[in-house]
Amino acid sequence: MPAALDVAADLLALLSDTTTEPRADNQLEALTLAVSADLPVLLWGEPGIGKTAALTQLADALDLPLTTVIASVHEPSDFAGLPVVGDDPAVQGVPMAPPDWAVRLVRAGRGLLFLDELSTAPPAVQAALLRVVLERRIGALTLPPGVRIVAAANPRSSAADGWELSPPLANRFVHLQWAHDHDVVVRGLGGTWPRATLPLLDPGLLSDAVAFARRAVCELLAARPALVHQLPTNEARRGGPWPSPRSWEMALRLVAFATAAGVSREVLSMLVRGVVGDGPGLELLAWLDRMDLPDPEVLLADPAAAVLPERGDLRQTVLDGVVEAVRRRPERSRWDAAWALLVLALDTGAPDLVVVPAATLAVLRRDDWEVPAAIDRLSDAVSVSRLADRAADRVEARSGGRR
């Protein structure tokens, strides 16, 4: 019988012998960036989706010892600490003894603390976890900087004896929705999984990244003060990401790290929406887009050297800004420069984007300003666009009549 078990062990070893490969994976990149930023992460996903496997692979890739704690099977005292009465409590006080797993993490000085099944933890345990997640304290111990905290939870509908997360605990996490990728699963079962790597931060961009992140968040909140703190009225939404001064501070840190690492917009979107919620997160992303736009005054000063954004919505915003700048300070040279920019937009993008700016700019003409030669080309584009709009209106009207 032992020999048979040895053979079984050999087969199990072969099955567990897998490798990794570089592979683009937005959710894994978002996870590693949040871990790099030393922010607690909460992975949401249905049972069996691969959350625990992803954390195990992350710990292996980063060479961090993994400590898994199932929150629902612990008492509040396991996180707050058990009181230990000493020789003279009146003088020395009563210390709170931490559990053995916390002692091991402190001794190691580094590691990945994985709080699994968080949504099955009752409210009393969630309350005890507040200091662990925010202050990194367990009893009388403080987790060292080399320890990162990641949690996982199932939606209440699919959790065993599930609870909604309390708002104070939910507001301490970066919430990431974890979903399986068919190609990743198939290739992983074949023995090759994506490799988790920490983002490469450009040392030369650190100061600029911090300044950019602070400017973005502060300017947005100055313009939209109602976004500073919005506790959802719905109980389920309170257990997810929502805006507060704490979560905006987390968003600021994530924007700085994302800027220094040069991550994609998709990854940044997952992260900021994961701390302040979808609505405020999308507003921040739109604000970041506008911050990257060229200054209309710079464009008007040297239209020949202008470079317009490729994305249609951003280009439209820039052209509208140029026309608005001319409206605020109407001068012949600025008016001519604006026409030159509209011609550039016509040559390098969709003609319909210049229709409204051209019509508005034409209204700003003074009687003693000569019409530039470029206006003929723009008028042709405007005429074609308007004919197309009228044709589309007629087609829609006919289809509506048939219904």
Question: Domain boundaries in the chain?
Answer: 18-83+95-194, 203-291, 296-402
In angstroms, the CA 322 to CA 314 distance is: 12
pLDDT at 380: 62
Contact 342, 356 (CB under 8 A): no
Instruction: DSSP letter for 143, please.
Output: -
pLDDT at 231: 92
Q: What is the pLDDT of residues 24-50, one digit of tens each?
A: 889 999 999 999 999 999 999 888 787
pLDDT at 35: 94
Alpha-carbon torsion (264, 270, 273, 276), positive or negative: negative
Residues of the chain whose pLDDT is less than 70? 1-2, 85-95, 156-162, 374-377, 379-403
First to last CA, the chain: 77
Q: Which two tokens stand for residue 10?
A: 């050999």
pLDDT at 399: 58
Whether domain 18-83+95-194 has CATH 3.40.50.300: the reply is yes
Cα 370 to its chain centre, rounded Å, is 50
Please state whether the predicted TM-score (pTM) of the whole model is above 0.85: no
- What lies within 8 Å, CB to CB, of 312 at 6+ separation is 349, 350, 353
In angstroms, the CA 357 to CA 342 distance is: 8
pLDDT at 162: 67
SS3 150: strand
